Amino acid sequence: MPTASVLVLDSGIGGLSVTREIRALCPYLHIDYLADLGAFPYGTKSGEEIISRMTTLVDRLGKSLSPSIIVVACNTASTVALDTIRLQTHIPVVGVVPAIKPAAAMSQTGVIGVLATEGTINRRYTHHLIQEFAHSRTVVLHGSSRLVQLAEQKLRNIPLPLDEIRQELMPLLKKAPDMDTVVLACTHFPLLKEEFTEAFPQIKFWVDSGLAIARRVEYLALMQGIKPESEEKPQPNRLYITSPTNQYHQSSLEPLLGDYDAEVIIV
């Protein structure tokens, strides 16, 4: 029987929005979550820097943890590094990319916003998705690295300024007042969904990729013979945090941990 573990990677804690969907659908899988805080944020880094970082992490953790499935729970990394990672490893790799296709189908006004990091907004991959699945829709793009920081802040229990969230989203809404659908094309953003909904109640659909990713993981696990009744109770989930030194302050992690065991790794 293969070890039923999934390695989930993101620049920070954003990928926990994907992990919670995987845990809800597949509680029999063990999760190793890597928050690459040593290189946070990804959204303002070049494609080359992200590819190099991801290949290093996948090589190192792929070897030490031997996961059955790898999930790149980051749109910024997936839209530039997926092909390279898939060539690098024999382990199935699931990427998280902007949910433009379902959003285009859902929108009733035909006006869609895409909220992501600057990196994802500028990627050729994102523009191909729009051409392929939303060419008959009006699509407005907006990149924000501040919202990524605010999501990190929220999970550390630091109070969020709702006014600032409203201001960060305003440029998107201003460009197209008829917008009824927004793609949350950064895994940090579903963590702010409550605040977004409160700030802009006129938006009907906030669309993310979390559930689709969990279904893909469930399918890939099944393909490897991993299913609920065939598995023993998994080990406690683990959260790995990268740091350039071992000077990481454990206390700054505590609000994040929940039922995860934590470990700092030097990368």
Buried b (16+ CB within 10 A) or exposed e, 129-164: bbeebbeebebbbbbbbebbebbbebbeeeeeeeee
Cβ proximity of 216 and 26 under 8 Å: no
Question: Of 73, 82, 184, 186, which is the active-site residue?
Answer: 186
Q: Which is nearer to ligand DGL, 29 or 115 (CB)?
A: 115
Residue whose C-beta lies closest to ligand DGL: 43
Question: Of 6, 26, 74, 264, which is the active-site residue?
Answer: 74
- Give yes or no: 26 in active site: no
Q: Which is nearer to ligand DGL, 10 or 32 (CB)?
A: 10
Q: Which residue ranges make up the site for ligand DGL (CB under 6 A)?
A: 10-12, 14, 40-43, 74-76, 117, 120, 145, 148, 186-188
CB of 131 to ligand DGL, least distance (A): 20
- Tokens found for residue 105: 């189908």
For residues 108, 111, 117, 120, the Cα torsion angle rounded to the nearest 10 degrees is 100
Token pair 């880094």: residue:
45
Q: Which is nearer to ligand DGL, 28 or 40 (CB)?
A: 40
CB of 162 to ligand DGL, least distance (A): 21
CB of 221 to ligand DGL, least distance (A): 22
- Tokens found for residue 250: 């454990």
Q: Which is nearer to ligand DGL, 172 or 226 (CB)?
A: 172
Helix or strand holding residue 199 (H, E): helix 193-199
Q: What is the DSSP letter of 42?
A: -
Cis geometry, peptide bond prior to residue 255 (ω within 30 degrees of 0): no
CB of 30 to ligand DGL, least distance (A): 22
CA distance 208 to 201: 17
What residues are annotated to the active site? 74, 186
